[in-house]
Structure 1
Amino acid sequence: MPKDQVAPVISRLEEFEQNMPGYLNSNYKLAILMDFDGTLAPLVNNPANSKMSVELEKILRKLANHPQIFLSIISGRGLKDVQTHVNIDGVTYAGNHGLEIEYPDGSRHDFELPASVKKNYTAMVKELKQKLEKNGAWVEDKRVSVTYHYQGTPDELKDEQRQLAVQICQRHGFRANQAHEAIEAKPPVNWNKGEAALYILKNQFGDNWSEEVRVVFAGDDTTDEDVMRVLKGLGRSFRIASDAQVQTFADFRLPEQNVMTDLLRWIARVYV
């Protein structure tokens, strides 16, 4: 069982090859899996305003069109939401922490929630909106998972509202995960970003995917740790975090979101 650790830091382009000499090879297929918010795009108070930098998007489009590269975005956002914000063809998109997956050809895989869970979800969203959409906080209903955003709440009220949100989610049987000034409520099923990543890789490359393809994953949040955990020893993963002591299953830490551009540059140098 892999253990989390304080990961070594990579802060500029040259350090990727220095720390992973020869890992990338254009003779091998490469699977790139990434989160969106805080990874491909900087975190912002209103997720509707989230946007990738021009340079990062340009590199990403080149990588998405490369015949040796498979690209997938695995996000906590709803599927259509993350597709709208990335808007790049040839990408496999996974929304709601992998509960919804859509491939470039339009085919889908949707994790079917039990009827009782759906009923509890509806009641949970209703209660969250009634009790906690106030003081600048709001509820993002993503159909199968929900995010309670409290970035805009006054500091002296944040903790009280956060704790109540956690209690409401748990009372309805959902798992409440701490995100960046938000609570993400996920259904009580054996499925997360890690399971989704494995499903996507197996679907694309077969059961022996780890022998067929090199894998790179990047994410910035606690929910991304599920991917880092399952890929430990099978790929290379990067946790974006400013905290030098953050415990992570990732192989390396990127201190700032903009280092993601260097990560993609490193990949492009080899493949494009």
Structure 2
Amino acid sequence: MNPTDPTDLGPTDVDPQDLDPVDLDPGLRAAIAAVAGLDRLLVASDFDGVLAPLVDDPSTSRAIPGTLEALDALSQLPGTTCAVVSGRDLETLLALTGLDGHERIAAVGSHGAQSTTDDTSTQALTPEQADQLAVLDAELSEVLARHPGVRIEHKPAGVVLHTRGLDPTVAEEATAEALVVGAEQRPAKVLRGKDVVEMSVVDANKGTALLELAAARGSQATVYLGDDVTDEQAFERLGPHDLTIKVGPGPTAARFRVTDATEVLEVLEQLLSARGGH
């Protein structure tokens, strides 16, 4: 794979010719124009549900054509830092995005616990953290055994229960049992997202990760797009000078909202056009 081509991942189900024209909210257009003129800007996005449509099988997730290309083009502009921030573990995120070896776009995995911008991906767990992770794994495996079809994802510092695509009753029962496990296994951090319950033995979140990256790069503002409950931690931590965009329905602390990945592409392309003009 060519590291300068983050979308060289084979065929996808979305053809750019099939995407309908998008007319963004005038307020969002104005906000894009405002941040585009800043000297130093951080542009970051969640992956699943934002750059890529949500799918039942997480291993088949792919960004829609144009989204990663727009981020790559933005990353080549002066004073512009770009990042993909995800709950996925870093190795999986790099594989799905094609960003492995890509020097311009940062990849932040495991809700900020791993990043290509520093050495957090190689930090070892303490013996206590490793023991707790083993307990979480064992208890969620029991939930899996009681509810066939539930999937377990293992991460370097956590374990995730997935219920997307299951019968709603089965999904609700498995989710409730997983939340009980999390409550009993403090100080493990529990994150409930769309059809997932994630438990981590390290304290990391997308909001902290974005603030640290923005500070390290001297960014004057951050543009962040997210769709899940875990992205609310970022929306809440970012300030009124930042441009926060919720993708899809649901309560949010974000300043603006778009419908889906098609509109995400329009946001990125408008930002690229406006910032390129400066």
Global fold match (TM > 0.5): yes
Amino acid at match of 1:84: A
Aligned partner of 1:15 in structure 2 is 26
Aligned partner of 2:129 in structure 1 is 117
Residues 218 and 237 of structure 1 are in contact (CA less than 8 Å); yes or no, is this contact kept in structure 2? yes
Amino acid at match of 2:144: L
Q: TM-score, normalised by structure 1?
A: 0.83
Q: 1:25 to 1:59 in 2, by over 3 A?
A: closer
Aligned partner of 2:7 in structure 1 is none
Residues 241 and 256 of structure 1 are in contact (CA less than 8 Å); yes or no, is this contact kept in structure 2? yes
Taking the aligned partners of 2:80 and 2:56, their CA distance within structure 1 comes to: 32
Residues 135 and 154 of structure 1 are in contact (CA less than 8 Å); yes or no, is this contact kept in structure 2? no
Residues 41 and 53 of structure 1 are in contact (CA less than 8 Å); yes or no, is this contact kept in structure 2? yes
Task: Name the count of aligned residue pairs.
Answer: 249
Amino acid at match of 1:94: V
Are 2:48 and 1:44 aligned?
no
Aligned partner of 1:232 in structure 2 is 239
Aligned partner of 2:255 in structure 1 is 251
Which residues of structure 1 form unaligned runs of 5+?
A: 1-10
Write out per-residue CA displacement over residues 2-60 of structure 1, whole angstroms, 9 at most, x where no aligned residue.
Answer: xxxxxxxxx73463554427413446222101111111111111111111111223322
Amino acid at match of 1:267: L
Are 2:135 and 1:128 aligned?
no
2:116 to 102, 107, 116: 102
What is the CA RMSD across the aligned residues, in angstroms?
Answer: 2.2
Aligned partner of 2:192 in structure 1 is 178
Q: What pairs with 1:1-272 in structure 2 (closer than 5 Å)?
A: 12-13=23-24, 15=26, 18-20=29-31, 22-26=33-37, 28-88=39-99, 89=102, 90-103=104-117, 107-110=118-121, 113-133=125-145, 134-173=147-186, 174-187=188-201, 189=203, 191-205=204-218, 209=219, 213-243=220-250, 246=251, 248-272=252-276
Higher relative CO (Cα under 8 Å, sequence separation at least 6) belongs to 1
* 1:198 CA drift (Å): 1.3
Aligned partner of 2:9 in structure 1 is none
Write out per-residue CA displacement over residues 34-90 of structure 1, whole angstroms, 9 at most, x where no aligned residue.
Answer: 111111111111111111111223322212322331001111000111111122321
Taking the aligned partners of 2:64 and 2:54, their CA distance within structure 1 comes to: 12
Taking the aligned partners of 1:29 and 1:69, their CA distance within structure 2 comes to: 6
- SS for the counterpart of 1:229 is helix
- SS for the counterpart of 1:153 is coil
* 1:129 CA drift (Å): 1.7
Q: TM-score, normalised by structure 2?
A: 0.81
* 1:180 CA drift (Å): 1.2
